Amino acid sequence: MLISIPMIQRHSGAYKLLAAIFACSPFGSFIQAEDRPNVLLILTDNQSYFELSCHGHEQLQTPHIDRLASESVDFVNFHAPPFCSPSRTALITGRYALRAGVHNTVGGVSILHKSERTIANYLGEAGYRTAIFGKWHLGATHPHHPNNRGFQEAFVHGGGGIGQLEDYYGNKHANATWDHNGEMVPSEGYSTDVLFSRAADFIKSSEREPFFCFVSTPATHTPYETEPRAAERIRKRGVEASSADLKLYSMIENIDENVGALMGKLDEWGLSENTIVILATD
């Protein structure tokens, strides 16, 4: 069963439901962990609902996400905090962000209270392997680091966006340095490519264990930086766009390319029929 739910916009109910179904008793006590569906959550940052060809954008081409949308329940009417950290708080806890002490993106009010439990906590306790790749933005140090919040594998950048405060000094989308389980490591390639590649490796290594894989891209947040292959395709189509728009479009189409590649891997590895895929915008 492949249940994909594209474009959930700042809403926590689906994740609270997932946590309840897959981790909590009494349901969880009746099935073995290896029988439970995998969960792949893909969250793109600051992407508009309309910045997909399936939602009416006339210049973008996002065929892989379009296909996912055609196979999915498409949630289009949700209400939640309008900032990154509060939105993510609601997303992974199933609670109003204010209850968890998060109501902005800076100044100490973007840090998830250490008493809060995340979907990664629940699923990890139910026998899932858990991982996050990309943007966290809910606390960078113990006890707020994702490794302290239920994620067994964490490959993240600091702060709210590439190159912002708390991120590794001088970072850009290409060839960035990341926090890998508390150790700073360099990468080669564009941020979205790096994150999806890491996620694919994690999923493949899970083998018989169920997994919760959270791919949280820093794209399409600023800084807008061109992804060369996608930008070349867009130019060849004759798209008329400003320099800033071309950068943004290339970031979006690069996300789409990576979504298609990862979905292909799920097919190749025989995981599609037992993986819930949720694609959302922040």
Active site residues: 84, 137
266 contacts 199 by C-beta, under 8 angstroms = no
Q: What angle do CA 183, 184, 186 make, to 5 degrees?
A: 135
Token output for 187: 């990468």
Could you tell me if 277 and 263 are in contact, meaning their C-beta atoms sit under 8 angstroms apart? yes
Rounded to 5 degrees, what angle do the CA atoms 278, 160, 185 make?
90
Strands (E), the chain: 2-9, 38-44, 129-135, 153-157, 177-180, 183-186, 211-216, 275-281
d(C-alpha 227, C-alpha 230), whole Å:
6
Distances (CA, A) of 57 to 53, 151, 201, 230: 5, 35, 32, 16
Non-local CB neighbours of 84 within 8 Å, separated by 6+ positions = 45, 46, 105, 110, 135, 137, 160, 221, 282
CA dihedral 167, 222, 48, 244 (to 10 degrees): -160
Q: Residue length, the chain?
A: 282
